[in-house]
Structure 1
Amino acid sequence: MTLPVLILTILLGLVKLLVTCLPTDTVNWIISKFKLHSELSDANAIITIGGKRLEGEDKIQVINYFNKAIFLKKNHIFPGNEHLFLNPENSVTPLVIDTKRGKKDVRLFVYIYNDHVDVVKQYKKKIVSYSLLSESLQERSMPVIRKLV
């Protein structure tokens, strides 16, 4: 009876050591799977505004500003009011970013305001909304957006 208990204790101790002492890369990979505001890559992202595609330096600049943005809060979307987030009544034209996260297609609607940036993320059949703070995206992208619209 003591031999199985001893073996089980040793195995549980080894599992505990492995879980609590994971390498940094492994921990970062696990955290990135649950990250709401994930970083975009230039190769996978297609950015459009008002039906026109952003290309070249403007696209890279918007992606860099988006990646450097600070996460503020998650906005709760209740079933039945998704249309308010995808088609807001105000006249803000969203940046639409189509990208891939692994094998999944993700569509981001980025609404830029003076004091914050709202992002509506669609993937699979889920919709998630959150707010960002990005002074550079709020200030510097507006002339680019006005020029295209």
Structure 2
Amino acid sequence: MIWILVVFGILIKVLMSPPSAVVAWLLSKFELHQKLDSKDVTVTFNGKNLEEEEKNKYTEYFNEANFLKKHYIFPGNEKLFLHPETNVKPFVINVKSGKKDVNFFVYSSDNHVDVVKQYKEKVVSYSLSSDYLQKFTLSTKGLN
């Protein structure tokens, strides 16, 4: 009988304060601006794939960018975010990890970077702050 109480007490303790690795994994599943692994990523600009070194730098800059705010998309307006009427050409990041296929469209402006994340049928938009991403975008304008 005492063993049942001890096991029950340990179980309650683990459920009430889970290990930090479990908490980190659970939070990463709901993270809006997730960290990308450059091995699972292809980055294209103007229809051309970036070279391996440029892709690694771009992925690193994307991971280090600071989240600013989320843009709310009303149902039916997804196409306005996926294909905006602008002259800015986006970097397209395709992430394929297992069955999961996610596309990021990265638009750079003077003071921030807009990201449109598309996965399955969902579209999410948010802004980032990253001087490195903006400078990288300016340095690749000659690739047109």
* Fold match (TM-score > 0.5): yes
Structure 1 residues 94-133: Cα deviation after superposition (integer angstroms, max 9, x where no partner): 0011102452100111111111111111111111111111
Say which one has the larger Rg: 1
2:27 alignment partner in structure 1: 31
Counterpart secondary structure, 1:119: strand
CA RMSD of aligned residues (A): 1.9
Structure 1 residues 70-104: Cα deviation after superposition (integer angstroms, max 9, x where no partner): 11111101112112111111211000111024521
1:148 is aligned with what amino acid? L
* Cα shift at 1:14: 4.7
Query: Which structure 1 residue ranges, 4+ long, deviate > 2 Å from structure 2?
Result: 13-16, 100-103
1:92 paired residue among 84, 88, 91: 88
Report the count of equivalent residues.
141
Q: Give the distance between the partners of 2:71 and 2:11, measured in 1 at CA.
A: 37
TM-score calculated relative to the size of structure 1:
0.86
1:120 paired residue among 116, 132, 135: 116
Counterpart secondary structure, 1:32: helix
Residue ranges of structure 2 left out of the alignment (5+ in a row): none
Residue ranges of structure 1 left out of the alignment (5+ in a row): 1-6
Structure 1 residues 24-58: Cα deviation after superposition (integer angstroms, max 9, x where no partner): 21111111011011011111101111111101211
2:142 alignment partner in structure 1: 147
Whether the 8 Å contact between 1:120 and 1:127 is mirrored in structure 2 is yes
Whether the 8 Å contact between 1:121 and 1:128 is mirrored in structure 2 is yes
Q: Give the distance between the partners of 2:17 and 2:74, measured in 1 at CA.
A: 39
TM-score calculated relative to the size of structure 2:
0.89
Q: Give the distance between the partners of 1:101 and 1:38, measured in 2 at CA.
A: 13
Whether the 8 Å contact between 2:58 and 2:136 is mirrored in structure 1 is no
